[in-house]
Amino acid sequence: MVNQPLFLNEEQVRQHLWLVDLIPAMEKALIDFSAGKVTQPVRSVIKVDPPGGFLGLMPALTPEGLGLKAVTFYPSNAERGIPTHMATIFLVDPRTGTPLAIMDGRLITEMRTAAVSAAATKLLAAPDSKILAILGSGVQARSHVEALGLVRPFEHVRVWSPTKEHAKQFAEEIGGTAVSAEEAVRGADVVVTVTNSKTPVLKGSWLKPGCHVNAIGACRPDWRELDDEAMANIVFVDSREAALKESGDLILSGAKIYAELGEALAGKTPSRASETTIFKSLGMAVEDIAAALLVYRSAKNNRERKESGSSSDTKN
């Protein structure tokens, strides 16, 4: 008899996923990917116009699991007060193809993206980094403040957002300071760009020598968050193949990719952490599968404990 798959909504996913576990899981996923242990085609994207949305399909076979994420990105949702990114993850047993779980992927996308940036920051940022600059004020900005705080002892967080009120509100929430983009970046040890901008919001001339940048937005080949000068630094990516197809920051600047993050995490490539580094993050299915497996295993163990407890009660 085939067991019914687990169905997990966002709140149930939240009960089984912690950043402290997710960061090392993302490090392993990136190392496996760069070592050629993962079968993962580049994300397949369908544009939905109007209203200017996208549907992306992201399958992967990893050493530990098999699954697919379907993700939607509708920038116009921000005006409606609903998430711009929504997703569902489907896990199957790689040995039999049996469905294991169907779970909400919005929170997983939010948390695993920040966890990957934390892995990059842990490797590439100065150990004594004190000042964090966040360009953006949405859900990714919040998750990055939390995740990066686990790997570096930040004392000050500076915030900029295209909407001043949003920047001010977010800064108050996290105990940071709302300033201009340039003021946020100048002198910062770590910079995070998490905007929906299609044109550069970060200038390379603002960057402190030796700082580290996590570039998260601009996930389309004609979108930018960083100018050419910023992209002239040491550039790491999650996937070479994906970056050369999807990243406007790379494609339009003509920047050279130094290495995949997984190569540096594995020690196969020098990290060059004393130099100014850019991590261009696009997100990969292997990250989603690794995160979803953490959720699935925890939820499955929880269900089995409850079931064994119920059977014990029946016997008593």
Residues 152 and 206 in one domain: yes
**Helix, strand, coil distribution of the chain in percent, nearest 5:** 40, 25, 35
Considering the entire predicted model, what is its pTM? Answer: 0.93
Burial class (CB in 10 A: 0-12, 13-18, 19+), 239: buried
> Based on the domain organization, do 247 and 151 belong to the same domain?
yes
Asked if residue 310 is part of any domain, the answer here is no
Cis status of the peptide bond prior to 51, with omega within 30 of 0 = yes
Total domain count, the chain: 2
Query: pLDDT tens digit string along 110-165?
Result: 999 999 999 999 999 999 999 999 999 999 999 999 999 999 999 999 999 999 99
What are the residue ranges in the chain where pLDDT is below 70? 1-2, 310-316
Q: Residue 2's pLDDT is what?
A: 61
Q: Give a yes or no: residue 269 inside a domain.
A: yes
Are 277 and 292 within one domain? no
Has residue 53 been placed in a domain? yes
Do 43 and 139 lie in a common domain? no
Strand partners, 101: 6, 91
Asked if the structure places residue 129 within a domain, the reply is yes
Supply the pLDDT for residue 307: 81
The distance between the two most distant Cα atoms of the chain, rounded to a whole number of Å, is 72
73 and 132 both lie in a single domain: no
Pairing, β 44-48 against β 277-280: unpaired
Query: 234 and 205, same structural domain?
Result: yes
CATH code of residue 260: 3.40.50.720
Bridge-partner residues for 102, per DSSP? 7, 90
pLDDT on residue 66: 98
Asked whether residue 139 falls in the same domain as residue 152, the answer is yes
CATH number, domain at 26? Answer: 3.30.1780.10
In a domain, 309, yes or no: no
- Domain residues for 160? 117-284
Q: Indicate if 265 and 236 belong to the same structural domain.
A: yes
In-domain check, residue 2: no
156 and 51 together in one domain:
no
What pLDDT sits at residue 309?
A: 75
User: In terms of domains, do 156 and 234 share one?
Assistant: yes
Cβ-proximal residues to 228 (8 Å cutoff; 6+ apart), any chain = 204, 253, 254, 255
- Whether 69 is covered by a domain: the verdict is yes
CA nearest 288: which of 156, 115, 126, 51?
Answer: 115
For residues 205 and 185, state if they share a domain: yes
Look at residue 316 and tell me if it is in a domain.
no
Residue 194 CA to residue 96 CA, distance in Å, equals: 39
Entry field: residues in the chain: 316
Residues 166 and 202 in one domain: yes
